[in-house]
Amino acid sequence: MTRLASLSAAFAPFETLAAQLLPHAFADDDGSHDAAHLIRVWKNTLKIQAQEGGDLRILAAAVLLHDCVAVEKNSPLRAQASRLAAEKAFELLDELGWRTPDMAAVAHAILTHSFSADLPPQSLEARILQDADRLDAIGMIGAARCFYIAGRMGSGLYDPLDPLAENRELDDKAYALDHFEVKLFRLTEGFKTAAGHTLALERQEKLRRVLAMMLDEI
């Protein structure tokens, strides 16, 4: 079995769709938005959809293509990333012969999933994708991705004189640990589905344990 076939199998029962879209789905040089991320978001999506409902075909395409345009976190175009991805997703699905309403549904979910875009998700599928993607930003995986991205951006792990920013302004561009308070701990309150919110609370506690363990060692 080829690597593409093996990765596609993780998106069952939409293996064929995954095989068609994965070659367009992510940049090869970003380990925080790679195939592993897409598979985790799909697993999160399945957990939420099992309780909330929603069109799984729409969700599968939205998960596979939500990061199909790569824009670095520190890029001035970051807030446009989800719009660019939504436009590309629409074009890719059009080439596959999808119906316009279904392409629009996928594009809307992708457009509104981004924290940076700050757009409200209007459909159930859009709410599920947003929650499923944000779950991957908290918990143990969220901590790992935070430090990975900080390394890509050239940030330090923490301020050695004031790790918790008790006497300075938070600056998550300079220190990875600051990102916990600037963004990650605040994500849970914004979850759009009941199932997603329950999962987020569990992961937030894991993230707080990561912080506590780090502080114990520094």
- Which has more confidence, 173 or 31? 173
What pLDDT sits at residue 78? 66
What pLDDT sits at residue 118? 81
Average pLDDT, the chain: 94
Task: Give residue-wise pLDDT tens across range 134-193.
Answer: 999 999 999 999 999 999 999 999 999 999 999 999 999 999 999 999 999 999 999 999
Q: Which residues, listed in sequence order, are joined to residue 156 by a DSSP beta bridge?
A: 175
Q: pLDDT band at residue 85, thresholds of 50, 70 and 90?
A: very high
Highest mean pLDDT among 27-36, 76-85, 174-183: 174-183
pLDDT at 44 over 80: yes
pLDDT at 30 over 90: no
pLDDT at 86 over 80: yes
pLDDT at 70 over 70: yes
Find the range with the poorest average confidence among 2-6, 36-40, 168-172. 2-6
What pLDDT sits at residue 32? 86
Range 15-20 average pLDDT:
97
Find the range with the poorest average confidence among 16-30, 65-79, 105-119. 65-79
Range 67-71 average pLDDT:
86
Question: What is the Cα 100 distance to its own chain's centre?
Answer: 25
